[in-house]
Amino acid sequence: MPKKVLVIDDNVDITRALTVRLRATGYELILAPDGATGLETARVERPDVILLDIRMPGIDGFEVNRRLKAIPELAEVPVIFLSAHTQGTVRQKAWAAGGECFLRKPYDAGQLMAVIEAVTGRTKSRST
């Protein structure tokens, strides 16, 4: 059974690129265009890893992550923060929020895939 990757990002270009790359490497991809949709999708789909944008309309990525960690069945799902905004303390906030990793957009595809493979390789599939 392929591992499920939930992408919560409002940037269509990023989600399109991630769709191509992740599906080509055998992952099941689930998309959510904003934080509220992402939270509901995570509850229903039980992903193995979440790629989470920080700055989105409505609920930002830090708040989405806080809410995810408060849901017992999702608390251990690894979250990889993706953001073009790296100024100030954004990286530190991502780590403090319990993020598995922080990658800057535009992301390096090889680095992103290595991180996803590392975190999904050490977690049992939640979709079974």
Each residue of 71-114: pLDDT tens digit? 999 999 999 998 876 666 776 777 777 777 778 877 788 888 99
Residue 67 has pLDDT above 90, yes or no: yes
What three-state secondary structure class fits 82?
strand
Phi (first) and psi of residue 97, to 5 degrees: -75, -5
pLDDT at 126: 52
In angstroms, the CA 51 to CA 22 distance is: 12
Pick the CATH number of 4-27+35-73+85-121 from 3.40.50.2000, 3.40.50.2300, 1.10.3720.10, 3.10.620.30: 3.40.50.2300
Q: Tokens 């599939």 correspond to what residue?
A: 125
What is the domain partition of the chain in residue ranges? Answer: 4-27+35-73+85-121
* Nearest CA-CA partner of 18 in 105, 118, 121: 105
**51-60, 61-70, 107-116: least confidently modelled range:** 107-116
pLDDT at 128: 42
Neighbours of 85 (CB within 10 A): 12
Confidence (pTM) = 0.87
